[in-house]
A = this chain, B = another copy of it.
Amino acid sequence: MLKIGELAQRTGISRDALRFYEKHGLITPTARTDSGYRLYSKSDVLRISFILSAKEVGFTLNEVHQLLELEVTKDKKSCQDVKEFVDNKIQVVNQRLIEMKKIKQSLKTLSVACCGGDEPATHCTILGALNTHNR
Protein backbone atom coordinates (compact mmCIF):
# COMPACT_ATOMS: atom_id res chain seq x y z
CA MET A 1 0.00 0.00 0.00
CA LEU A 2 1.28 3.41 -0.99
CA LYS A 3 0.89 6.73 0.71
CA ILE A 4 -0.20 9.63 -1.43
CA GLY A 5 3.29 11.00 -1.93
CA GLU A 6 4.60 7.69 -3.14
CA LEU A 7 1.72 7.29 -5.54
CA ALA A 8 2.26 10.82 -6.75
CA GLN A 9 5.88 10.06 -7.49
CA ARG A 10 5.13 6.82 -9.33
CA THR A 11 2.38 8.32 -11.48
CA GLY A 12 3.71 11.81 -11.98
CA ILE A 13 0.45 13.26 -10.72
CA SER A 14 0.59 15.79 -7.93
CA ARG A 15 -0.80 15.01 -4.50
CA ASP A 16 -3.26 17.83 -4.99
CA ALA A 17 -4.43 16.38 -8.25
CA LEU A 18 -4.94 12.98 -6.64
CA ARG A 19 -7.07 14.49 -3.94
CA PHE A 20 -8.88 16.48 -6.60
CA TYR A 21 -9.67 13.29 -8.53
CA GLU A 22 -10.93 11.74 -5.34
CA LYS A 23 -13.18 14.66 -4.61
CA HIS A 24 -14.68 14.23 -8.06
CA GLY A 25 -15.28 10.53 -7.70
CA LEU A 26 -12.58 9.27 -10.05
CA ILE A 27 -10.70 7.28 -7.45
CA THR A 28 -10.91 6.39 -3.79
CA PRO A 29 -7.97 5.06 -1.80
CA THR A 30 -8.49 1.44 -0.81
CA ALA A 31 -7.85 2.24 2.83
CA ARG A 32 -6.83 4.82 5.38
CA THR A 33 -4.40 4.54 8.24
CA ASP A 34 -5.70 5.09 11.75
CA SER A 35 -4.46 8.61 11.52
CA GLY A 36 -6.33 9.20 8.27
CA TYR A 37 -3.51 8.87 5.73
CA ARG A 38 -4.68 7.61 2.35
CA LEU A 39 -3.45 4.16 1.35
CA TYR A 40 -3.48 3.10 -2.28
CA SER A 41 -3.41 -0.49 -3.47
CA LYS A 42 -2.20 -2.03 -6.71
CA SER A 43 -5.67 -1.74 -8.24
CA ASP A 44 -5.68 1.93 -7.38
CA VAL A 45 -2.49 2.28 -9.36
CA LEU A 46 -4.16 0.57 -12.31
CA ARG A 47 -7.08 2.91 -12.03
CA ILE A 48 -4.72 5.85 -12.14
CA SER A 49 -3.11 4.52 -15.27
CA PHE A 50 -6.57 4.24 -16.82
CA ILE A 51 -7.26 7.85 -15.95
CA LEU A 52 -3.93 8.96 -17.35
CA SER A 53 -4.42 7.06 -20.60
CA ALA A 54 -7.88 8.51 -21.05
CA LYS A 55 -6.62 12.00 -20.38
CA GLU A 56 -3.85 11.53 -22.88
CA VAL A 57 -6.26 10.83 -25.69
CA GLY A 58 -8.15 14.00 -24.89
CA PHE A 59 -10.98 13.05 -22.58
CA THR A 60 -11.97 15.58 -19.94
CA LEU A 61 -12.14 14.46 -16.33
CA ASN A 62 -15.88 14.36 -16.60
CA GLU A 63 -15.63 12.04 -19.57
CA VAL A 64 -13.02 9.94 -17.80
CA HIS A 65 -15.58 9.59 -15.05
CA GLN A 66 -18.12 8.20 -17.50
CA LEU A 67 -15.51 5.93 -19.02
CA LEU A 68 -14.66 4.56 -15.62
CA GLU A 69 -18.30 3.74 -15.11
CA LEU A 70 -18.35 1.90 -18.42
CA GLU A 71 -15.25 0.06 -17.29
CA VAL A 72 -16.61 -0.95 -13.94
CA THR A 73 -19.90 -2.17 -15.37
CA LYS A 74 -18.45 -3.54 -18.57
CA ASP A 75 -20.27 -6.86 -18.24
CA LYS A 76 -23.52 -4.93 -18.44
CA LYS A 77 -22.37 -2.68 -21.26
CA SER A 78 -21.72 -3.53 -24.86
CA CYS A 79 -18.89 -2.63 -27.20
CA GLN A 80 -21.49 -0.55 -28.97
CA ASP A 81 -21.87 1.63 -25.91
CA VAL A 82 -18.16 2.15 -25.56
CA LYS A 83 -17.52 2.78 -29.22
CA GLU A 84 -20.41 5.20 -29.38
CA PHE A 85 -18.89 7.17 -26.56
CA VAL A 86 -15.56 7.40 -28.32
CA ASP A 87 -17.13 8.23 -31.66
CA ASN A 88 -19.08 11.04 -30.08
CA LYS A 89 -15.90 12.48 -28.74
CA ILE A 90 -14.32 12.22 -32.16
CA GLN A 91 -17.17 14.25 -33.57
CA VAL A 92 -16.68 16.96 -30.98
CA VAL A 93 -12.94 17.07 -31.54
CA ASN A 94 -13.50 17.21 -35.24
CA GLN A 95 -15.86 20.12 -34.94
CA ARG A 96 -13.37 21.99 -32.85
CA LEU A 97 -10.70 21.17 -35.38
CA ILE A 98 -12.69 22.64 -38.22
CA GLU A 99 -13.25 25.84 -36.28
CA MET A 100 -9.60 26.20 -35.52
CA LYS A 101 -8.65 25.67 -39.12
CA LYS A 102 -11.01 28.44 -40.12
CA ILE A 103 -9.44 30.70 -37.56
CA LYS A 104 -5.97 29.87 -38.72
CA GLN A 105 -6.96 30.62 -42.28
CA SER A 106 -8.46 33.96 -41.35
CA LEU A 107 -5.36 34.91 -39.45
CA LYS A 108 -3.14 33.91 -42.33
CA THR A 109 -5.18 35.98 -44.72
CA LEU A 110 -4.73 38.95 -42.45
CA SER A 111 -1.04 38.32 -42.10
CA VAL A 112 -0.12 37.97 -45.74
CA ALA A 113 -1.88 41.21 -46.60
CA CYS A 114 0.26 43.20 -44.17
CA CYS A 115 3.56 44.55 -45.42
CA GLY A 116 5.21 44.02 -42.05
CA GLY A 117 7.43 47.03 -42.62
CA ASP A 118 8.93 49.66 -40.38
CA GLU A 119 6.61 52.48 -41.31
CA PRO A 120 3.85 53.58 -38.94
CA ALA A 121 0.88 51.25 -38.86
CA THR A 122 -1.57 53.95 -39.84
CA HIS A 123 -1.98 52.25 -43.21
CA CYS A 124 -1.90 48.68 -41.80
CA THR A 125 -4.25 46.37 -43.62
CA ILE A 126 -4.70 44.23 -40.54
CA LEU A 127 -5.96 47.05 -38.40
CA GLY A 128 -7.96 48.23 -41.37
CA ALA A 129 -9.64 44.88 -41.81
CA LEU A 130 -10.54 44.66 -38.16
CA ASN A 131 -12.03 48.12 -38.30
CA THR A 132 -14.40 47.46 -41.14
CA HIS A 133 -17.76 46.30 -39.95
CA ASN A 134 -17.86 43.14 -42.01
CA ARG A 135 -21.62 42.71 -41.81
Contact = CB atoms under 8 A, between A and B. Distances in A.
Interface stretch (A13-21, A24-32, A33-41, A116-124): A116-124
Interface string A83-123: 11011011001101100110110111011001111111111
A57 B121 contact: no
Given A53-B134, A74-B127, 10 more contacts: A50-B131, A57-B103, A71-B131, A75-B122, A77-B121, A78-B119, A86-B110, A86-B111, A86-B114, A87-B111
Taken together, the copies of this chain in the complex come to: 2
A1 interface: no
A61 interface: no
Given A80-B118, A121-B77, A100 B107 contact: no
Interface of A is mostly: helix
